[in-house]
Structure 1
Amino acid sequence: MEKSSIVIAGGGSTFTPGIVLMLLDNLDRFPIRQIKFYDNLEERQKQIADACEIIIHEKDPDISVLATTDPEEAFTDVDFVMAHIRVGLYAMREKDEKIPLKYGVVGQETCGPGGIAYGMRSIGGVIELVDYMERYSPDAWMLNYSNPAAIVAEATRRLRPDAKIINICDMPIGIEDRMAKAAGLKSRKEMVIRYYGLNHFGWWTDIRDKEGNDLMPKIREHVKEHGYLTDAEMESSQHGDESWMQTFSKAKEVYALDPDTMPNTYLKYYLYPQDEVAHTNPEYTRANQVMAGREKEIFSECNQITANGTAKNMGLEIDEHASYIVDLARAIKLNTHERMLLIVENNGAVKNIDPTAMVEVPCIVGVNGPEPLVMGEIPQFQKGLIEQQVSVEKLVVEAWIEGSYQKLWQALTLSRIVPNAKVAKQLLDDLYEVNKEFWPTLN
């Protein structure tokens, strides 16, 4: 198999080491000749990339490594762009979360007002990466997992409709890992699923093993009682991340609304927003937890590797969820026709909603990219929720393109998480004030 050249766009991200370790762990399946790191924040990237270079060369000294802030250097001679950028870093995520909470509204990085604010920052950054790729490596594919994926996907559909970009998310992968455990399987890859929705806004309708046996009854039984908590988590007195434990437990209440399907965990923000506000400390949100936790830990670990000149005994771990990125790259490169859950233009995959909606559905992936599978017509409950959320995402992108204050106000008003148009306007004014450096000028 011909070796690939990869650029990780967002080289200074704390997720980058986990992705590098995952790539190195899969060299037998997906050989690599070159890994580049690209970021517009040189000092931040240097801390991550210097450590990653040591890790890479200890694993395979033949892999070429380059860290740069120069787009031409980064995007020339690459087969895949793996993009996970965060415009405004966690300092802006903190504002995305805390400003809505002032009004008793959910503060979350991809859902509701916080997701809309983040989307308005992300669109320009992702479009810039697409343009660099098309200029310097026009045959490359971008595997984009920059959030908020739904808004970014709609923006790329509108603004770069012919770009070779696939928008992806690892949240369903994590949930499927938990379903597999509930069904008594070793791996989610032993399951064949049917799913429809939008990113962070979807439902599983059918889950079977490779022999075609229906796994839904067993999974339903587990989720009805425990949500997506695993047996090990329920038995342990020391839960890992309390925020995520609460999310996985809450799935049982989301599931109760439609027991014929299995829900994405993020639906809790739209269906039980008051509970999320009640559980959140407005002075210390998820962004604060991450900044005090993973941000410090990853940079400290990377600096330690660089100081020691070796990655032996390091504390960094493989990002197992990111293994689907290798599966996706392999599917494109080797034309494997693997079945994967991706974000694509609807075009009839979900028959009774907008054909231009960016839906998340199973696709067959080969050398030409993803081919969506038809999920058919969906029930009225899901149809109503999805059409409302599609309209939110489309209005956000139109607001970004047109610089329209009015359309962004409409988007916020239409979000299920925002109680009314008055609160939507207050939120918009506050969010615009702190985002003027990142958003287009609104008129």
Structure 2
Amino acid sequence: MTGVKIATIGGGSSYTPELMEGFIKRYEELPIREIWLVDVEAGREKLEIVGAMAQRMWDASPYKVKVHLTMDRKEALQGADFVTTQFRVGLLEARIKDERIPAYYGMLGQETNGAGGMFKAFRTIPVILDIVEDMKRYCPDAWLVNFANPSGMVTEAVVRYGKWDKVIGLCNVPVMATMLEPGLIGKETDELIYKFAGLNHFHWHKVADNHGQDVTLDLIDKMYQEDNGLPKNIYDIPFERDLLEQMKMIPCAYHRYYYQEEEMLAHALEEYQTIGTRGQQVKQTENELFELYKDPNLNYKPEQLLQRGGAYYSDAACETIASIYANKETQIVVSTKNEGAVPDLPADCVVEVTAYIGAQGARNVAFGPLPTAERGWLQVMKAMELLTIEAAVTGDYGTALQAFTLNPLIVSGATGKRVMDELFIAHKEFLPNFAETIAKLEAEGVTVQDEIARDLSLVTAG
């Protein structure tokens, strides 16, 4: 049978219309036969809403593509050529717990950073490994394109524990940098040469013009005068200019949580106490999006989706798939095996780097050694990631505590341990690998404090 079969795990996501738009735009180079959108029972209503809209988008195009909806992952994976993953274990309610429990104790709660990011990894990694096992059986030649967060750790788990090398992890942050930064110095994207290196949500980049002249410092200068293109979910605290000029690189937006920890934490705690955490804000945006998606006349991606915070994830996924299928050798920033591109980390670990994407996957662009400070940060963060992944797979409490203690955004000691223990209790439904740990904590009388439990019951309702 000719044509490409795509299976999307987490098909009920509000990002799915952007995914459809990207596939429609690239149909002539990526002739899709059918798309399968998969979700869990708790996401059935959203899957049906967004699935109907996805079919309307294809029907409004010149192409005859069937969108299938299913709760049966195995059916969707059967014979798939590409599998994309954009699921969220525990839905947005789990994210809100990740944010509000640490915030109660004065720590950062965030989707991919700090305690919240680690618990998202604990919930997500066992699921992605189950998906990989199904892929080995039902679509052993397929590529896995992941943008389920924390994308870098999820991709590392697929390679390290799933033993699946045909995987690429994606993030929208580099996409937005390459879209928005060139205009700051009066250039188009294709007039600049970008090189990224680091980890997902923890990378740096350098920029040169087409004559090979480094323009990184020119961009840094303009970033203090113009719109710097931050993602919608990152509060705009300016970096210390001397810091950027010393490193001669541009950090990613998420570095603010580390370089400007005091200011970012203060802002996060202010939102926690007033308008609600980012997860609560996203939940409101998502509710509004799904009301729009219900409109039987809507057959295109609405502009409001750009406010969701992860804009361009899906378009990057479509370009990655098209580049593999057509061997386009497109330059994309991806999470993939290091293979020496970043010599400060082992060759077999996953890094986020600039790469050329073709039929054999990613061919990394070598970045070279990082300066002293950045090398130190990178090695600490990678060690924390590897411990987090190991804990997610083994369910070992001591390994989880090691990862928590190493994370720069978590205060080590009794309070940090308390936050971890309460998050285990709060998420026990989605942490089967930690069943023994959770049973032990409950036997010791550990609970989510009454005040937090009441708060969570109110903010996650509806």
1:388 maps onto 2:390 in alignment: no
1:87 counterpart residue number: 89
1:404 deviation in Å? Answer: 0.9
1:302 maps onto 2:293 in alignment: yes
1:222 deviation in Å? Answer: 0.8
Alignment of structure 1 residues 38-437 onto 2, 5 Å? 38-41=38-41, 42-60=44-62, 62-186=64-188, 188-205=189-206, 207-226=207-226, 228-229=228-229, 244=234, 246-247=235-236, 249-251=237-239, 256=244, 258-280=246-268, 281-283=271-273, 284-293=276-285, 295-305=286-296, 308=297, 311=299, 320=312, 322-437=314-429
1:195 deviation in Å? Answer: 1.7
| Cα distance in 1, alignment partners of residues 337 and 394 from structure 2 | 22
* Range with greater deviation from structure 2 (409-418 or 373-382): 373-382
Instruction: Give the aligned residue type for 2:343.
Output: K
2:28 counterpart residue number: 28
1:332 deviation in Å? Answer: 1.1
Instruction: Give the aligned residue type for 2:92.
Output: Y
| Cα distance in 2, alignment partners of residues 388 and 424 from structure 1 | 18
CA separation of 1:179/1:28 partners in 2, compared to 1, >3 Å: closer, same or farther? same
| Cα distance in 1, alignment partners of residues 244 and 33 from structure 2 | 49
CA separation of 1:19/1:335 partners in 2, compared to 1, >3 Å: closer, same or farther? same
CA separation of 1:268/1:315 partners in 2, compared to 1, >3 Å: closer, same or farther? closer
| Cα distance in 2, alignment partners of residues 419 and 165 from structure 1 | 34
The number of aligned residues is 424
Contact 1:336 1:365 in 2 (8 A): yes
Instruction: Give the aligned residue type for 1:115.
Output: G
| Cα distance in 1, alignment partners of residues 129 and 190 from structure 2 | 32
| Cα distance in 1, alignment partners of residues 320 and 240 from structure 2 | 31
3-state SS of 1:339 partner: strand
Contact 1:254 1:267 in 2 (8 A): no
| Cα distance in 1, alignment partners of residues 304 and 23 from structure 2 | 14
The TM-score with structure 2 as length reference comes to 0.85
CA separation of 1:222/1:259 partners in 2, compared to 1, >3 Å: closer, same or farther? farther
1:314 deviation in Å? Answer: 6.4
1:263 deviation in Å? Answer: 0.6
CA separation of 1:393/1:63 partners in 2, compared to 1, >3 Å: closer, same or farther? same
Contact 1:223 1:252 in 2 (8 A): no
The TM-score with structure 1 as length reference comes to 0.89
| Cα distance in 1, alignment partners of residues 238 and 4 from structure 2 | 41
CA separation of 1:202/1:43 partners in 2, compared to 1, >3 Å: closer, same or farther? same
Instruction: Give the aligned residue type for 2:272.
Output: P
1:330 deviation in Å? Answer: 2.0
1:12 counterpart residue number: 12
Instruction: Give the aligned residue type for 2:24.
Output: L
CA separation of 1:312/1:336 partners in 2, compared to 1, >3 Å: closer, same or farther? closer
CA separation of 1:315/1:275 partners in 2, compared to 1, >3 Å: closer, same or farther? closer
1:387 deviation in Å? Answer: 0.9
3-state SS of 1:364 partner: strand
Contact 1:228 1:252 in 2 (8 A): no
* Range with greater deviation from structure 2 (399-408 or 88-97): 399-408
3-state SS of 2:87 partner: coil
1:237 counterpart residue number: none
3-state SS of 2:351 partner: strand
Task: String of CA shifts for 1:284-329, please: whole Å, max 9, x gaps.
Answer: 1001111112x11221011122xx5x63896676854533222211
Contact 2:6 2:34 in 1 (8 A): yes
Contact 1:227 1:251 in 2 (8 A): no
| Cα distance in 2, alignment partners of residues 313 and 257 from structure 1 | 39
3-state SS of 1:361 partner: strand
1:99 deviation in Å? Answer: 1.0
1:93 deviation in Å? Answer: 0.3
Instruction: Give the aligned residue type for 2:256.
Output: K
CA separation of 1:128/1:189 partners in 2, compared to 1, >3 Å: closer, same or farther? farther
3-state SS of 1:437 partner: helix
| Cα distance in 2, alignment partners of residues 74 and 312 from structure 1 | 24
Gaps of 5+ in 2: 438-462
User: RMSD across aligned C-alpha pairs, in angstroms?
Assistant: 2.4
| Cα distance in 2, alignment partners of residues 90 and 260 from structure 1 | 37
Task: String of CA shifts for 1:225-262, please: whole Å, max 9, x gaps.
Answer: 457159xxxxxxxxx95x54x33x53465954744111
Q: Percent identity?
A: 27
Instruction: Give the aligned residue type for 1:216.
Output: T
